[in-house]
Amino acid sequence: MPRPGEHYVIVGGTRGLGHRLAQAVAADGASVTITGRNTESGKAAAEAVGVGCRAATCDLTDWPSIEEAFRDLPTIDHLILCALDRDQNTVAEFRPDAAAQTSLMKNVGYAAAVHYALPKFSPTGSVVMFSGISMWRPFPGSMTISMANAGVIGLMNSLATQIAPVRVNSITPGVIGGTDAFDQADPIRRAAFEAMLARTPGRRLPTPDEVVAATFALTDNAGINGSNLVIDGGMTLM
Ligand X SMILES: NC(=O)c1ccc[n+]([C@@H]2O[C@H](COP(=O)([O-])OP(=O)(O)OC[C@H]3O[C@@H](n4cnc5c(N)ncnc54)[C@H](OP(=O)(O)O)[C@@H]3O)[C@@H](O)[C@H]2O)c1
DSSP state letters, 41-75:
HHHHHHHHH-TTEEEEE--TT-HHHHHHHHHT---
Site stretch for ligand X (CB under 6 A), options 22-30, 34-42, 114-122, 216-224: 34-42
Under rule CB under 6 A, residue 60 binds ligand X? yes
In the complex with ligand X, which residue's Cβ is closer, 37 or 78?
Answer: 37
- C-alpha separations of 155 from 201, 216, 225, 227 in Å: 30, 20, 13, 12
Residue 58 CB, nearest distance to ligand X (Å)?
6
From CA 49, how far away is CA 58, in angstroms rounded? 19
CA-based end-to-end distance of the chain: 32
From CA 117, how far away is CA 84, in angstroms rounded? 19
Q: What is the CA radius of gyration of the chain?
A: 17
Number of residues that bind ligand X (CB under 6 A): 30
Under rule CB under 6 A, residue 209 binds ligand X? no
Per CB under 6 A, the list member of 6, 8, 9, 18 interacting with ligand X is 18
Under rule CB under 6 A, residue 61 binds ligand X? yes
E strand or H helix at 8, and its extent? strand 7-11
Residue 123 CB, nearest distance to ligand X (Å)?
27
Per CB under 6 A, the list member of 1, 29, 41, 88 interacting with ligand X is 41
Under rule CB under 6 A, residue 40 binds ligand X? no
Q: Smallest Cα–Cα separation from 79: which of 211, 222, 219? A: 219
Under rule CB under 6 A, residue 163 binds ligand X? no
Residue 33 CB, nearest distance to ligand X (Å)?
13
Binding mask 81-110 for ligand X (x = CB under 6 A): -xxxx-------------------x-----
**Structural contact between residues 76 and 9, judged by C-beta atoms closer than 8 angstroms:** yes
From CA 85, how far away is CA 71, in angstroms rounded? 24
Residue 117 CB, nearest distance to ligand X (Å)?
14
Which chain residues interact with ligand X by CB under 6 A? 12-18, 36-38, 41, 58-61, 82-85, 105, 130, 132-133, 173, 175-176, 179-182
